[in-house]
Chain A
């Protein structure tokens, strides 16, 4: 396996882009990424697109050819990956393998989702397709509802109060203010979170990642290609890329307060990167709901089961804490265009490693980790990066 480097990043802002189509978002993100990398688009040999629901939301399949056509690179290899909300992370993994294998020297990993084209009810029908259509969607469960089942079990099992878990949302909003591409640039108080409308008890509106449109893209290169490109600084090496699955539906799992795929993926990623957990300087984790943020911290090994909320409440995940996490606003406030999220998270980690995170910059951030989750942990991808120059 060869070394793989990320040499360019680009993203659209996240929000309701009424004037932009699915393809417009892809083109905008990819254009920014190749400009940032200092390459010409004809250098791209393959494109890996992460997207969850364009068939339902836009009636559009075949995103690979759609993208190469509208980006003006016909002939280029192109693929689409789908793993629910982990589609972006899985697309990145495929792009990484493509370069590491030696087959390609320069590829793009791109994530895109356009959620504002349909009503919230139809969106709800589309999102629950992340779980089993016959035995989960069939009973009227929503995606929020499944996470609510986890939330209630967690509070009951570990005797934790909702106010302690819900604080994750306050954290995310605080940091999103300084992020130029975030969907929400305002703070929320814990009281506002806890009194916002119930969506699926006990989950309240301000504990849920919003719906939005967006695309993000990364340029990945081999070491050989690196020598021939313009960009000379801000190069980041991929130290690890891992993907793991778990039993799809909660009712089939023995313990629903742990996402086993996170544990499996984390173990593999640390082994690949040859680092220890304490070496990680900055984290982007998949907090689609407040409870998930807390559970991920535990499953990645930063806290004991039932204690993850303490890291949030005691400032350990804040800027200046021991494990700075979601410092660009997380899924809750930066936004969560589902199939694009895995790529946005890597974009955020790389900003930190390039020392370009502005007011949310972690001092001397050298190693960063992104964790992207599909369904209620049916798929988890973890990637680890290191700034090299």
Chain B
């Protein structure tokens, strides 16, 4: 169990909940860039013509790594897989892969979103949830 000054905040988790739980991304009408999560300005061209979109829940792994020396708050989960997943509409998201042995992950693997636990804010804090991806069932 780990309690760090920068994670033990309920409000910090609460204010991100919609974007994290429902996968709310952005689409830049001006340059076509897609990104997660949604924000006011396109990170690529700076435009404010941003459409909020609920992202598709399926995609494929475009790069991955296996974390063997985790930060303190993820100690109990190591080794685990962190991947860049490209969703069906082209939006890229960084997430853990789950429900798969670490030696079976491959680039190009089809995956789907599931709601899972990420980290805990110690004995008196809350549990932080978010989206992980598992092989398509």
Contact = CB atoms under 8 A, between A and B. Distances in A.
Given A153-B62, A247-B44, A256-B63, A140 B80 contact: yes
Contacts of B6: 129, 133
B115 interface: no
B127 to A, nearest CB: 13
A139 B44 CA distance: 23
Interface stretch (A70-78, A163-171, A196-204, A214-222): A196-204
A199 B94 contact: no
B84 A250 contact: yes
Contact of A142 (B36, B67, B107, B119): B67
Contacts of B130: 138-139
Contacts of B71: 121, 124-125, 128, 137, 140, 142
Chain B residues touching A, range? 35 or more
Given A125-B72, A199-B69, A135 B63 contact: no
A233 interface: no
A208 to B, nearest CB: 10
Interface stretch (A144-152, A264-272, A308-316, A329-337): A144-152
Interface string A250-272: 11101010000000000000000
Given A129-B6, A152-B63, A198 B72 contact: no
A133 B73 CA distance: 13
Contacts of B68: 197-201
Chain A contact patch, size range: 35 or more
Contacts of B128: 138
A276 interface: no
A202 B62 CA distance: 15
B47 interface: no
Contact of B70 (A121, A156, A203): A121
A319 interface: no
Contacts of A254: 44
A120 interface: yes
Given A140-B80, A153-B63, A252 B69 contact: no
Contacts of A148: 65
A134 interface: yes
B123 interface: no
Interface string B57-95: 000001111111111111101001011100000001111
A136 interface: yes
Contact of A139 (B43, B62, B72, B118): B118
B84 A200 contact: no
Interface centre among B43, B82, B93, B95 (most CB of A within 10 A): B82
B104 interface: no
Nearest to A248: B43
B70 A250 contact: no
A249 interface: yes
Nearest to A134: B16
A153 B6 CA distance: 31
B27 interface: no
Contacts of A142: 67, 69-71
Contact of B94 (A129, A136, A198): A136
A73 B80 CA distance: 50
A140 B92 contact: no
Nearest to A156: B107
Nearest to A200: B65
Contacts of B121: none
B4 interface: yes
Contacts of A356: none
A383 B93 CA distance: 34
A378 B74 CA distance: 24
Contact of B118 (A56, A122, A138): A138
Given A139-B118, A140-B82, A140-B118, A251 B94 contact: yes
B119 to A, nearest CB: 7
- 8 closest A-B pairs by beta carbon, nearest first, are A148-B65, A121-B72, A125-B71, A140-B74, A124-B71, A201-B66, A251-B92, A149-B63
17 contacts: A121-B71, A124-B70, A135-B36, A138-B130, A139-B94, A140-B74, A141-B82, A142-B69, A145-B65, A149-B63, A150-B63, A198-B66, A200-B68, A247-B43, A247-B44, A251-B84, A251-B93
Interface of B: 4-6, 12, 16, 35-37, 43-44, 62-75, 77, 80, 82-84, 92-96, 107, 118-119, 128, 130
Interface of A: 56, 119-122, 124-125, 128-129, 133-142, 144-145, 148-150, 152-153, 156, 197-203, 247, 249-252, 254, 256
